[in-house]
Structure 1
């Protein structure tokens, strides 16, 4: 086999360079086993590595990320909660009376704290876009956890004169979803009468819609 100068690149080599690699994770990293927190941190590290290599990693909002931000923890892995509850805590003040809690109970309390706006994990999940459009021409692709329907896009565009292009409309949708989550975070949901309900739970919610 003839030698080839390492400085020479074929078209196939060029197609494999990291700057052209894009990974889209479409949500539901959490509630899928006993390592949700590790996976959240892993994807953040992966984003940094991709940027350094010239690529991109996108992590989108799924309904399970939203559920955790809204205080709905019924699908959180019990082993992960117990492990979290067994982690050492700072030494309490001398003489302070600390009620004893089982590891699972303490882990659930700590999980709730981690999922609040202002915490590192909570803010990471809140910052995730609901939908992105990538590529160009025939390869232009919409990525979203559930789906998008005209009724939801009409709702997102109400009162927004700036949302005159598909890109602006998606940007507005992402802002509305993040705003709804921040307003309802930690409250175990929003009442049906709240305007945020349609975006978070309604039949056309982009994180719940399944066609």
Structure 2
């Protein structure tokens, strides 16, 4: 296994490592690509040795300034900011994982060892679909690195006939809605230098912010439903569809917590028993009969969720529910779930695989 702290250039992008961080403050951070409403010209902002620098985005190229560490460079894409369907069929292979929480090094090691990406960090999963069931944001110190990596992987997967589904978790919704309780102190530097609250670094006028706001919160691939927290029985009584829920999530992701709670439907979707917070499957009171009713409602065989931390990929109710939050947030290891040819497989951190 390659050392998870010092990694080679990834995807033609170079990333800072934990060695670039001192006293919880970043010497190097970015880029934050912003396009003001009054202009069509995008500008990339960089924190270089704790000083703010900027570069123009020319022909979609986001190029790092000189003497600015090994920060991500990228090619922007309008295609991956388009709203995509929330239902897919005939997909031959799927990989799912969750709750990275800014642990870029662990993510790269896991995906490389499981051959989802190659040794240079490029997409290697062909026409397969990757599902990240939320919570890239908060806790960890490499959130921006993970976001730009997933952004690039989104492009590469589509070029190969595959797809990356970055689902919105409760921490994405918290950050974009201005709840910044779990943001790593490292990002105080960028917020101060750009004179923007952290949530506005990913505002609707930013490249990453626009990309995030195009994403779904719940998707169905073949006979499996994917989301961050879980689907409760309350969903059925509300007669919601996936399309309506995903649209409401996108429309109100920037709304304040107070305004979400004031609306009955939004209060359900964004909190409590809603799909990004629900943990009912792990309760002793939850029954297989209740689960079967939910599965029948969506015409699926199983549900894949993150949000509730485990030590490994965990199957419940004869694998009708599969938990894929394997505590990557701790920064030590993690697992992923592979679904191929009706086989469920645990992809371990060391590259080996075991049947679930």
TM-score range, shorter chain: 0.5 to 0.7
TM value normalised by structure 1: 0.66
Q: Tell me the SS of whatever aligns to 2:247.
A: helix
Q: Which residue of structure 2 aligns with residue 101 of structure 1?
A: none
Give the alignment partner of residue 142 of structure 1, picking from 200, 206, 225.
Answer: 225
Structure 1: 5+ residue stretches without partners: 1-13, 86-104, 158-168
Higher helix share: 1
What count of residue pairs does the alignment treat as equivalent? 159
- Answer yes or no: is 1:152 the counterpart of 2:235: yes
- Supply the RMSD in Å over aligned alpha carbons: 2.6
* 1:112–1:22 Cα change, 3 Å: closer
Do 1:81 and 1:111's aligned partners in 2 also have CA atoms closer than 8 Å? yes
- Distance in 1 between residues matched to 2:238 and 2:201, nearest whole Å: 31
Do 1:156 and 1:172's aligned partners in 2 also have CA atoms closer than 8 Å? no
* 1:112–1:57 Cα change, 3 Å: closer
> What are the residue-to-residue correspondences of 1:180-191 with 2, within 5 Å?
180-182=252-254, 184=255, 187-190=256-259
Q: How far 1:25 moved relative to its partner?
A: 0.4
Do 2:154 and 2:163's aligned partners in 1 also have CA atoms closer than 8 Å? yes
C-alpha distance after superposition, 1:157-198 (max 9, x if no partner):
3xxxxxxxxxxx21121112222224x1xx354363223222
Do 2:127 and 2:157's aligned partners in 1 also have CA atoms closer than 8 Å? no
- Distance in 2 between residues matched to 1:156 and 1:114, nearest whole Å: 36
- Distance in 1 between residues matched to 2:183 and 2:258, nearest whole Å: 16
Higher relative contact order (CA 8 A, sep 6+): 1
Q: Which residue of structure 1 aligns with residue 270 of structure 2?
A: 200
- Answer yes or no: is 1:109 the counterpart of 2:220: no
Structure 2: 5+ residue stretches without partners: 1-91, 94-114, 116-123, 281-356
- Answer yes or no: is 1:52 the counterpart of 2:159: yes
- Distance in 2 between residues matched to 1:153 and 1:44, nearest whole Å: 34
* 1:37–1:156 Cα change, 3 Å: farther
Do 2:133 and 2:228's aligned partners in 1 also have CA atoms closer than 8 Å? yes
* 1:109–1:194 Cα change, 3 Å: same
Q: Tell me the SS of whatever aligns to 2:259.
A: coil
Larger Rg: 1
Higher strand share: 2
Give the alignment partner of residue 75 of structure 1, picking from 160, 182, 192.
Answer: 182
TM value normalised by structure 2: 0.41
